[in-house]
Amino acid sequence: MRRILRTGGLRPRILTRPLAVFAVLGPGVVAASAGNDAGGIATYATAGSEFRYRMLAVMLLVTVALVVVQEMSARLGAHTGEGLVSLIREQFTLRTAAFALVCLLVANLGLVVSEFAGIGAAFELFGVSRYLAIPIAAVALWALVVFGSYTWAERGFLLLAIAFLAYPVAAVLGHPDWGDVARDTTIPHLGTSHAFVLLAVALVGTTVTPYMQMYQASAVADRGRGSGGYTPASYKVVRADAIGGAIVANVISMCIIVATAATIGGTGPLRSADQAARALEPVAGAGATALFAIGLLGASALAAAVVPLATAYGVAEAMGAERSVSRRFREAPLFLGIFTVLVGAGAAIALLPGNLVQLLLSMQVLNGLITPVILVFILVLANRRAVLGDAVNGRRFNAVATTCVALVGLLALVVVVQALGARLVGP
Amino acid sequence: MVRRAALSTPLLPTTPLVLPARRLSTLTAYVGRPVLDGRGHRLGRVADLVAGSLGEHHPPVTGLLVRARRRESFLALPRVESVTSCGIVVGPGSAPDGFDRRDGELLLRGDLLDRQIVDDNGRRVTRASDLWLASTDDDVRLDDLRLVGVDVSLRALVRRLLPARRRAPGGVDQAPARVVDWAFVRPLTDGVGPVRLQAGLACTGAVPA
């Protein structure tokens, strides 16, 4: 008998299954935690090893940005019952909407690349060549999703990813200089070196990932549609979840920076996953590499399947196609096509020769450059009375949100100008 | 036994749009066009088209919304003298009026274009990629312009994404491919959220003209 996959089952599976696993967690926590994937770990670990605690102040700004952006996304989803891509298609001209969609596709392809790079790095820690591991992982993930036995694998990946909860413990056991931590978190170091700005953009890109805003709005909209809409009281819960999730996830991210800075801080840019694993030595001792590899594999494999699925879902939103109707997955060519292309292209790019950690960072920079574009769309939508009615941004909230978006945009602009300048001046 | 293939295909009553002695045009061919007075002075650009009497099978377009200096004003359709490749020419003394939306009026671009289309069962099927309008078969005038169908084809999307060609919106080089006759469409609104379009045989029992 042929198995029938329901896209109706697919959507909750992509967007709300982690909720079932974590039971008490809402979409906000899940969305924000998605930032701690392969790219996130590589970026935070590089921040710790290269600049010790000096990136913590940037993380503080990024946390504020993430809180306001996730809240706006949740509000848009709750009040309109539509995802971000839907709203962009309806509220902007077709060409503008197409531009936004292309940005999202590129950013998400970058994420898929970094997830496969993460899988490759994890296997290399176990001594398996990535040229063997990545193609096998890509085919296995593709088959799991298309042939529908993905559910159990997803739970397994989540269990593996729990290994990363060792970081907060490692941050304490690593005996960092808490005075330095407090000082560097509160007093910004305005480093203007290319490496500092580039890493700051990567931090933005991996923390305020466009994929997370898509996820947040769609998941909140789905839940609302399922329960007949939100009341002011029930929206408060959604809001608390979005804000709480952003803060909790960033506290974990900051722990990764602190743990890495305490062990290998000041040794320059991170060169290998092996080096990053040393941050877990205070917890796991000799088993640090294995613990790190297990966590990296789980987080990367999970995201390598979920990000392309959610991207295909976003395209379905743009085209107005049903996302919650019984339909054979194999009979949805657009959905399956986008999923397949993303997995195939992502794995292929991750196989290009070169340093995996460097590739991971580059993909986060790419996300960091695209993030401000998507943030501008969110900001405009959250200010439109035609969309949100009286729930549009308040004056003070809007001032904070606009400042955050402007700063994120400025950082991206500095990177672009520096890159162009370097090209003009020549090596 | 229900055929599964039938379940997976969109259940929209798309038809070839055959309207004898009518000139077909698309909404997006009008939007953005310059509006000129008889002496060729620019009054603004077409921002939207207004349709009334939605109960009719093919509701009449009552006028254009013209945007000039961030203000929108209404221009009744009979004031349009001709449609040329340079723009939409209005008769002398046709200064646009202020626009107050009346009950039962719809803005074709603002309310309908790119909106979600659901089928009889409320399932999301696609979006309105463009709207088809028909006028009396006259090369220049826009008499009896009516909303006749919703384009759900990919071709319409591609046409809108490509650079606009300079031609009068009256002519159509290719017959529309996947169009839902407006007789099968019903706008759904709760007065707060965006309008959705329900398309299907249950919307009306009538067979389109």
| Tens-digit pLDDT profile for residues B3-30 | 333 334 446 777 767 776 678 888 998 9
d(CA A361, CA A199): 8
How many C-beta atoms lie closer than 10 Å to residue A227's C-beta?
Answer: 10
What range does the domain containing A269 cover? 7-114+194-281+306-329+349-421
Residue among A181, A201, A217, A202 nearest A407 (CA): A201
Higher pLDDT, B142 or A262: A262
Nearest chain A residue (CA) to B114? A90
Is the Cα dihedral A307, A312, A315, A317 positive or negative?
Answer: negative
Which residue from B4, B160, B194 is facing A94, i.e. has the nearest CB?
A: B160
Could you give the domains of chain B? 21-91+106-203 (2.30.30.240)
Whether residue A328 and residue B8 make contact (CB cut-off 8 A), yes or no, is: yes
Highest mean pLDDT among B100-114, B129-143, B156-170: B100-114
Residues in chain A, overall count: 427
pLDDT score at A193 = 81
Q: Which of A56-65, A291-300, A304-313, B83-92 has the highest mean pLDDT?
A: A56-65
A327 and B7 within 8 Å at the Cβ level: the answer is yes
pLDDT tens for each residue of A285-336: 888 899 889 888 888 888 888 888 888 888 888 988 866 433 455 556 777 8
pLDDT at A60 over 60: yes
Q: Give mean pLDDT, residues A263-290.
A: 87
- Phi/psi at A350 (nearest 5 deg)? -65, -15
Residue of A nearest to B117 (CA): A320
Using a CB-CB cut-off of 8 Å, the residues of chain B touching A331 are 4-5, 8
Angle in degrees, 0-180, between the axes of helices A194-207 and A38-51, rounded to the nearest 10: 150
Residue A11 contacts B, CB cutoff 8 Å: no
Torsional class of A390: left (φ above 0), alpha (ψ -120 to 50), beta (otherwise): alpha
- Residue (of A297, A376, A302, A371) closest to A104 by Cα position: A371
Residue B166 predicted with pLDDT over 60: no
Average pLDDT estimate for B107-130: 87
Average pLDDT over residues B36-58: 86
β-bridge partners, B23: B135
- For A81, the closest of B115, B161, B193 (CB atoms) is B193
How high is the mean pLDDT of chain B?
78
Question: Poorest-confidence range of A237-241, B93-97, B170-174?
Answer: B170-174
The pLDDT, as a whole number, for residue A66 is 94
Instruction: Give percent of chain A with pLDDT exceeding 70.
Output: 86
Least confident segment among A17-21, A177-181, B109-113: A17-21
How far, in whole angstroms, is CA A287 from its chain's centroid? 27
> In this predicted model, which residue has the larger pLDDT, B53 or A327?
B53
Residue B165 is predicted with a pLDDT of 62
Angle of CA points A218, A223, A229, to nearest 5°: 110
Residue B165 near chain A (CB below 8 Å): no
Residues of B in contact with A323 (CB under 8 A): 124
Distance (Å, whole) CA A53 – CA A309? 36
Residue A134 inside a domain? The answer is no
Nearest chain A Cα distance for residue B83, angstroms: 24
The alpha-carbon gap from A83 to the nearest alpha carbon of chain B, in Å, equals 12
| B127 closest CA partner among A280, A348, A382, A87 | A87
* pLDDT for residue A4 is more than 50: no
Position B4 scores a pLDDT of 36
Chain B residues in contact with A314 by the CB 8 A cut-off are none
Of A90, A98, A319, the CB nearest to B115: A90
Average pLDDT across chain A, whole number: 84
Cβ–Cβ below 8 Å for B124 and A80: no
pLDDT value of position A145: 79
Residue A139 has pLDDT above 70, yes or no: yes
Q: Specify the number of domains making up chain A.
A: 1
User: Which residue in chain B is spatially nearest to A95 when comparing CA positions?
Assistant: B161
Closest-CA distance, B4 to chain A, in angstroms, reads 8
Give the residue from B26, B116, B150 with the most A CB atoms within 10 Å of its CB, the best one to mutate: B116
Q: Which of A34-43, A396-405, B16-25 has the lowest mean pLDDT?
A: B16-25
Region A35-54 average pLDDT: 89
Q: Residue A212: how many CB atoms within 10 A of its CB?
A: 27
Kindly list the residues from chain B whose CB atom is less than 8 angstroms away from the CB atom of residue A326: 7
| Percent of chain B whose predicted confidence (pLDDT) is above 70 | 76
B83 to A119, A319, B48, B62, B146: CA distances (angstroms): 61, 32, 16, 16, 16
B126: β partners = B117
Return the half-sphere exposure (C-beta side, CA atoms, 13 A cut-off) of residue B101. Answer: 14
In this structure, what token pair is assigned to residue A399?
A: 């001032």
Instruction: Give chain B positions within 8 Å (CB) of A98.
Output: 161
- pLDDT band for position A245 (cuts 50, 70, 90): confident
| pLDDT for B150 beyond 80 | yes
Strands (E), A254-387: none
Closest partner residue to A95 (CB to CB) among B116, B123, B161 is B161
Average pLDDT over residues A194-199: 88
Residue A207 lies in a domain: yes
Between residues B137 and B170, the one the model is more confident about = B137
DSSP A390: G
Higher pLDDT, B37 or A23: B37
What is the rounded CA–CA span in Å between residue B196 and residue B188? Answer: 5
Q: What is the 3-state secondary structure (H, E, C) of A231-281?
A: CHHHHHHHHHHHHHHHHHHHHHHHHHHHHHHHHHCCCCCCCCHHHHHHHHH
Which of A226 and A253 is assigned the larger pLDDT? A253
Q: Which residues of B touch A325 (CB under 8 A)?
A: 123-124
Q: Is the pLDDT of residue A22 over 80?
A: no
Q: How far is B91 from chain A (nearest CA, A)?
A: 30
Alpha-carbon Rg for chain B in angstroms: 17
The pLDDT of residue A121: 92
Higher pLDDT, A374 or B139: A374
- Under 8 Å between Cβ of A46 and A357: yes
**Residue A154, in any domain of the structure:** no
List % helix, strand, coil for chain A (3-state, nearest 5). 80, 0, 20
Q: A383 to chain B nearest CA, in Å?
A: 15
Q: For B36-55, what is the mean pLDDT?
A: 87
Question: Rounded to an integer, what is the distance from CA A235 to the centroid of its chain?
Answer: 24
Which pLDDT does position A69 carry in this prediction? 95
Q: Does a structural domain hold residue A301?
A: no
Taking the CB of residue A92, how many other CB atoms lie within 10 A of it?
A: 17
